[in-house]
Structure 1
Amino acid sequence: MGRELHHTLGSSLRRIRQDRGLSQEQLAHSIGYHRTFVGAVERGERNLTLSTVTELADRLGVGWRELLCGTGEPGADPAEGAESGAERG
């Protein structure tokens, strides 16, 4: 399951980056990483920390959920619309 998540995140990152008209180098430079790092993430070869996922999402103007799941509204607040335990009961 872990590798599947890496590939989903990588595919989402590539799609969103290209939609924004950014090169791997431009995205990498904007977050302080090397272009090869972004390429490795897009190929599903890197295991990212939550901080890095959040940093990428913020830079691209999307919620972390869109990167991890490949879904969501661009810029949507991932906590918005979440049900509390009391509401599920």
Structure 2
Amino acid sequence: MEKGYIDNALMLKALSDPTRVKIFDMISYGELCACELLEQFNISQPTLSYHMKILSEANLINSRKDGKWMKYCLNKQSINMLRDFFDEIDNRGSF
């Protein structure tokens, strides 16, 4: 199977969970640390780490260590790849 399909499927699967969709949306406004994300959810830090790992493995987010906290931002390259995938489908004109 072509690499693009695998990458797109991984990103879509990562976004199939409402909590991860909300995290993804929150990060779209700018870099956030884990502590800021935790304030918006009724989940534990290990649960947040689990969700962030899935988003990170799908290359939807980037992370960096800042002291004792991790900071997260969107991976624009992957988002553009996913956008291009949907644009190609939309532009086929079969609707």
| TM-score in terms of structure 2 length | 0.30
Q: Which has the higher strand share?
A: 2
| TM-score in terms of structure 1 length | 0.31
